[in-house]
Structure 1
Amino acid sequence: MTSDHDMLWCRCALLGRVLLPLVDEEPWRQARRHETLGARGIDVATGERMIEVFAALAAHAVAVDASLSAAEFDALSLNVVADAATGKHDYELLAGLPDTFADDHDGQAVNVFRLYTYKGGQYSHQLFLLGRELRYALNVLAERSPTPSLTCGDVFRRADEAGLP
């Protein structure tokens, strides 16, 4: 049986997985992101996976701080997640994570994030840059929204409409 905390992480991870495909509805955005990552010396595939896990970690940190259940997660504002992505220290995003992850890829990505956080130097700088890319992606989605405060649930509805898994 899956705990509510594990379900909360699953919702956060899903948010991270659908974020970039939704932003990339305008194909030039993907090309711009790839160019930006490359110019900053970040491998594109690694950078995009780190942005996904960064989104999940930021959403999870906010949800845990607000004591939200998995069922309440959909009401979480994307603006709050964007603020956490650039406003919290990297190590703060790691607090309260599940001990194990149902998806091994999530566990590996979190461990890479953890390694970058504690290694410092160039790695911390890369996390800073990836946090800015994440905030930009979240802002792009929020700007497209006809509603004043886009929520995680709104993002999931858009992902369903776009046929994303």
Structure 2
Amino acid sequence: MTSDHDMLWTRCARLGHVLLPLMDQEPWRQARRHENLRTWGIDTAEGEQLIEVFAALAAHAIAAETSVSAAEFDALPLSAVADAATGTRDIDLLAGLPDTFADSRDGQTVGLFRLYAYKGGQSSRWLFQLSRELRHTLIVLAERSPVPSPTCGGVFRLAAQAGLPQ
């Protein structure tokens, strides 16, 4: 039986997985993001995986902080996730994660995030830059929303409308 904690991480990871494909509905946004990643010295594939996991970590941190269950996750405001992405220390985002991950790629990327968070130096700078990129992504998606206070559930609805895998 899957615990609520594991289901919550699954919802958070799902949010991270749909953000960039939603953002890339305007193809120029992907080109700009790739250019930024290259300018910062970050491999584009690795950078995008880190952004996905960063989103999941930020959503998980704010959900845990506000005692949001997996069933209530869809009501979590995007603005709270954006604030957690830039307002929570990188190492604090790692608190309370599941011991194992259903998606091995997520587990590997969380490990890379953990390495960057503890390594410091240039790695910390990369995480800072990725946090800003994630915040920008969340703000753009929030601005596209037809409702005044968009939520994680709204992002999932946009993803379904765009035909992204659920």
Q: Same fold (TM over 0.5)?
A: yes
> 2:117 matched to which residue of 1?
117
> 2:56 matched to which residue of 1?
56
Matches within 5 A, 1:1-165: 1-165=1-165
TM-aligned CA deviation for residue 103 of structure 1: 1.3
Instruction: Give the TM-score normalised by structure 2.
Output: 0.98
Letter in 2 for 1:90: D
The alignment partner of 2:147 has SS state of coil
Letter in 1 for 2:19: L
The alignment partner of 2:97 has SS state of coil
Letter in 2 for 1:68: V
The alignment partner of 2:30 has SS state of helix
Query: In 2, distance between residues paired with 1:98 and 1:140?
Result: 29
Query: In 2, distance between residues paired with 1:159 and 1:146?
Result: 14
Unaligned runs of 5+ residues in structure 1 are none
The alignment partner of 1:148 has SS state of coil
Query: In 1, distance between residues paired with 2:104 and 2:39?
Result: 30
Letter in 1 for 2:152: C
TM-aligned CA deviation for residue 99 of structure 1: 1.1
TM-aligned CA deviation for residue 43 of structure 1: 0.6
Query: In 2, distance between residues paired with 1:40 and 1:97?
Result: 28
TM-aligned CA deviation for residue 102 of structure 1: 1.3
Poorly superposed stretches of 4+, deviation over 6 Å: none
Query: In 2, distance between residues paired with 1:3 and 1:105?
Result: 21
Identity %: 73
Letter in 1 for 2:106: D
Letter in 1 for 2:4: D
Instruction: Give the TM-score normalised by structure 1.
Output: 0.99
After superposition, give the CA deviation of every residue in 1:56-88 in whole Å (9 maximum; x if it has no partner): 000000001111110000000000000000000
Query: In 1, distance between residues paired with 2:103 and 2:27?
Result: 29
